[in-house]
């Protein structure tokens, strides 16, 4: 069965609500195993067909737990080339994290990214949670049947 990994960090719960909506959308697609986690080892990323990253923006940056997963995966020389990647997150004023994640997925790991990323100002509203569900569904549909 195709595997979709959703990895996220959230310090005050906003990105977490988005992550749950992404997972809900993905789980509406048959034939895809969806895992929602804070952390995964490089081998788990290698086993996934698609990976969606969620990070809020803190200090104009991706947060440390998500950076750590990306760093560990790069250092382990895990090949993610050709896998599907996407990104989302909550922010307060500048919101760099999701775009930075996509850049890393494209340039460092040669993943195929689903664009645009989703950036939500503070708490996600119902229409923004719906966008998150759609992102999860789109990514899951891309790998269903693999
Ligand atoms: C110490 C601190 C630093 C922050 N730095 C940024 C920042 O550089 N840019 C930005 O857009 N938002 C920044 N924020 C706002 C957070 O991204 C925002 O509160 C977001 O909703 C947090 O998401 P979370 O609930 O998933 O942790 C900062 C918030 C705090 C408390």
Cα–Cα distance for residue pair 34/12, rounded to 1 Å: 23
Q: What is the 3-state secondary structure (H, E, C) of 82-117?
A: CCEEEEEEEECCCCCHHHHHHHHHHHCCCCEECCCC
The answer, as to whether pTM is greater than 0.85, is yes
Query: Residues 58-77: what's their mean pLDDT?
Result: 97
Q: Is the pLDDT of residue 145 over 80?
A: no
Q: Tell which atom from ligand 1 comes closest to the C-alpha of 14.
A: 25
Q: How confident is the model at residue 7 (pLDDT cuts 50, 70, 90)?
A: very high
Q: What is the pLDDT of residues 22-52, one digit of tens each?
A: 999 999 999 999 999 999 999 999 999 999 9
Ligand 1 center from residue 145 Cα (angstroms): 38
For residue 94, how far is its CA from the centre of ligand 1 (angstroms)? 9
How far does residue 132's CA lie from ligand 1's centre (Å)?
19
Q: Is 100 in the pocket of ligand 1 (CB under 6 A)?
A: no
The secondary structure of 44-90 as a DSSP string is HHHH-SEEEEE---BTTB--HHHHHHHHHHHHTT---TT-EEEEEEE
Indicate if ligand 1 lies below 6 Å from the C-beta of 81. Answer: no
pLDDT of 88-133, one tens digit each? 999 999 999 999 999 999 999 999 999 999 999 999 999 999 999 9
């Amino acid at each position: 069965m195709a595997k979709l990994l959703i990895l996220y960090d959230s310090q005050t719960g906003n990105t977490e609500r988005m992550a749950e909506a992404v997972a809900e959308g993905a789980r509406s697609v048959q034939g895809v195993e969806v895992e929602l986690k804070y952390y995964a080892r490089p081998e788990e990323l290698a086993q996934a067909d698609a990976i969606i990253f969620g990070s809020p923006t803190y200090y104009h940056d991706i947060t440390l737990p998500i950076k750590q997963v990306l760093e560990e995966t790069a250092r382990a020389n895990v090949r993610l080339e050709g896998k599907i990647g996407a990104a989302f997150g909550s922010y307060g004023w500048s919101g760099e994290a999701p775009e930075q994640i996509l850049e890393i997925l494209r340039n460092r790991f040669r993943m195929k990214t689903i664009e645009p990323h989703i950036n939500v100002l503070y708490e996600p509203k119902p229409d923004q949670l719906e966008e998150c569900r759609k992102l999860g569904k789109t990514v899951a549909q891309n790998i269903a049947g693999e």
